[in-house]
Amino acid sequence: MPNTIIIGSGSHIPERIITKDHFLNSEFYSDDGELLTKTNAEVIEKFVEITEIENRRYIKDGEHNSDLGHRAAEEAIKDAKINREDLDYIIYASNFGEVDKNGMTNFMPSLSARVKNKLGIKNRNCVNYDMIFGCPGWVEAMILADTLVKSGKAKLILVVGAETLSRVTDPFDRNKMIFADGAGAVVVKATDEKNVGIIADKTICDNDSELMFLENAPSLNKASDQKKLYIRMHGRKIYEYALKNVPDAIKETIDSANLGIEDIDKILIHQANAKMDYAMISRLFKLYGRKDYDHAVSPMTIQDFGNSSVATVPTMFDLISKGKMKDQSFKPGGNIVFASVGAGMNINAIVYRFPLNK
């Protein structure tokens, strides 16, 4: 049975840097629809204290999700040194599709079809497939790609994660400061080399009482248009759910790879806020009987890039692969974890092993 290895990566980080001062003139409302009494400066400083998000990146007015995905894909294809016409699949993870500047979502044609068109691929046997799976979408797309490779249906797959969350946020919700835009992509290839690539994975879907922890909902400002829907995040419930379930899911995945936490070089985890990530990784190490951990094992980009959803993990992978994150690198033969949690609620994790000739 073939294994699935990453042979190229790319990312696109929008040029527009949105600082915390961008929100000083906002009107913030509570979940109950009441205007917050604290000053915006106080609200923003508390937000930064919890999330550590100082900056985030927004797409330009004339750009779209597929533009970001296209740029990341072009870079990944170039890095992989492949003929794009040889791709068997393009899997594109997103949550809101091709959102215009007015917040209107559009999934037809699909984003994977759009990016195939922008890449100029003429191969009719190159199948386009969109993955709608919340923030864990790119990780789940990698799991799907591995399934296709192992089944013999594909040898070369482009996996993209791109999102433009800045266009679906409620202007009156303080949580709008979390969300950002970006894109990441990898090219994966079938290999006969043993014990490399995706060596273990786990997906959990809790869709009962957890279903609406992340949802689309009207503005918190009852005086504004209540027909228009925005992304709504119930932060406390998500925090409690993630802390309870994500570390266990990651440990199960590491255990199924017959490894221990000491065998893992890096954990690339989706980032919604820094406090939650620190808590999840700390709990993971405690599950292995360790009280402390070196924070370098779990690199962070949220401070400067914000939460770009499905783009967070592949963007981080690309930056580390190309030596663009200070004091971060991957080593040949090393083991890393990809992990995410998000809308649904869904959790997933992958243990990935680099070939020795990486």
Q: Are 97 and 109 in contact (CB under 8 A)?
A: no
Q: Are 166 and 181 in contact (CB under 8 A)?
A: yes
Same domain, 20 and 149: yes
What does 292-343 look like in DSSP terms, one character per residue? ---GGGS---HHHH-B-GGGHHHHHHHHHHTT-STT----TT-EEEEEEEET
Same domain, 29 and 174: yes
Q: What is the DSSP secondary structure assignment for residue 36, as one 8-state letter?
A: P
Q: Are 129 and 59 in contact (CB under 8 A)?
A: no
Predicted confidence at residue 103, as pLDDT, reads: 81
Predicted confidence at residue 101, as pLDDT, reads: 80
Helix axes 137-151, 312-321, angle to 10 degrees: 70
Structural domain that includes position 94: 3-191
Of 154, 172, 191, the residue that ends a domain is 191
What's the rounded Cα separation, in Å, for the pair 83 and 204?
35
Bridge pairing between strands 335-342 and 3-12: unpaired
Strand order in the sheet with 346-353: 197-205, 346-353, 335-342, 264-269
With residues binned 3-state (H G I as helix, E B as strand, rest as coil), the percentages for the chain, rounded to 5, are: 35, 25, 40
User: Per the structure, how many domains does the chain have?
Assistant: 2
Give the residue from 172, 167, 157 showing the smallest Cα distance to 127. Answer: 157
CB atoms closer than 10 angstroms to residue 154:
24
Q: Are 87 and 13 in contact (CB under 8 A)?
A: no
Same domain, 41 and 187: yes
Same domain, 170 and 258: no
| 358 within some domain | no
Same domain, 48 and 93: yes
Rounded to a whole number of angstroms, the distance between the first and last alpha carbons of the chain is 21
pTM: 0.94
Same domain, 132 and 46: yes
Q: What is the DSSP secondary structure assignment for residue 306, as one 8-state letter?
A: -
Of 191, 219, 242, the residue that ends a domain is 191
| 227 within some domain | yes
Same domain, 140 and 204: no
Tens of each residue's pLDDT in the chain, 358 residues: 899 999 999 999 999 999 999 999 999 999 999 999 999 999 999 999 999 999 999 999 999 999 999 999 999 999 999 999 999 999 999 999 999 888 888 899 999 999 999 999 999 999 999 999 999 999 999 999 999 999 999 999 999 999 999 999 999 999 999 999 999 999 999 999 999 999 999 999 999 999 999 999 999 999 998 889 999 999 899 999 999 999 999 999 999 999 999 999 999 999 988 999 999 999 999 999 998 899 999 999 999 999 999 999 999 999 999 999 999 999 999 999 999 999 989 999 999 999 987 5
Of 144, 167, 191, the residue that ends a domain is 191
* Residue 351, beta-bridge partner list: 200, 337
Q: What is the CATH number of the domain that holds 300?
A: 3.40.47.10
Same domain, 221 and 147: no
